Amino acid sequence: MHVLKKMALLGAALLLAASSAQAASNYFFDPITKKRVTYGAAHHGKSPIKRKLVRYPSALPSGTILVKTNERRLYHIRGNGTAMVYGVGVGRDGFQWAGTHRITRKAEWPSWSPPAVMIARERRKGRILPSYMEGGPNNPLGARAMYIGSTIYRIHGSNEPWTIGTAVSSGCIRMANEDVIHLYENVSVGARVIVQH
């Protein structure tokens, strides 16, 4: 009986540790607001693709952002033959694009005004989009946005991190919030952006 009691206590302790670990992974720390931001209970806010510093010899200058949509990866060229690589979500069929631009603006917890064509397209599917949404954890643009040239596209966070590594967007490059914050802090307005399809 004594052994059974010990096993039950051990099982309870393991269950508590697992739920604590899950709770700990259910948020990220926003260095701008200095606050912990909690995600919904249905997911844990983590990209299924972990960012990492890699060897990446390239003739591109340091600071360049290179998006390879077929790989679902964004490379931030660091110089010295290295790059920080992030998993990204890209445009779905019919919404892919390629080109070279610059980052023209950066925003923290950006608001979202869907383009009229997107509102009309979603309405035909029976989904009503707001004409404007304040920034925040529930906003589809996530924690940060970097605006690409004069296009309607952005590199932005997401409140759906499980979509990272897939082709689901309307052309924007989406990242997990923790990753877009990391990139945002290392990118300046004027940085070159190359999107390869």
For the annotated catalytic residues, the residue numbers are 156, 172
Angle, vertex CA 56, rays to CA 53 and CA 59, nearest 5: 135
How far apart, in whole angstroms, are the C-alpha atoms of residue 167 and residue 109?
A: 23
Q: HEC states along the chain?
A: CHHHHHHHHHHHHHHHHHHHHHHHCCEEEECCCCEEEECCCCCCCCCCCCCEEEECCCCCCCCCEEEECCCCEEEEEEECCEEEEEECEEECCCCCCCEEEEEEEEEECCCECCCHHHHHHHHHCCCCCCCCECCCCCCCCCCEEEEECCCCCEEECCCCHHHCCCEEECCCEECCHHHHHHHHCCCCCCCEEEEEC
Q: What token pair was written down for 6?
A: 């010990």
Tell me phi and psi for residue 168, to 5 degrees: -135, -15
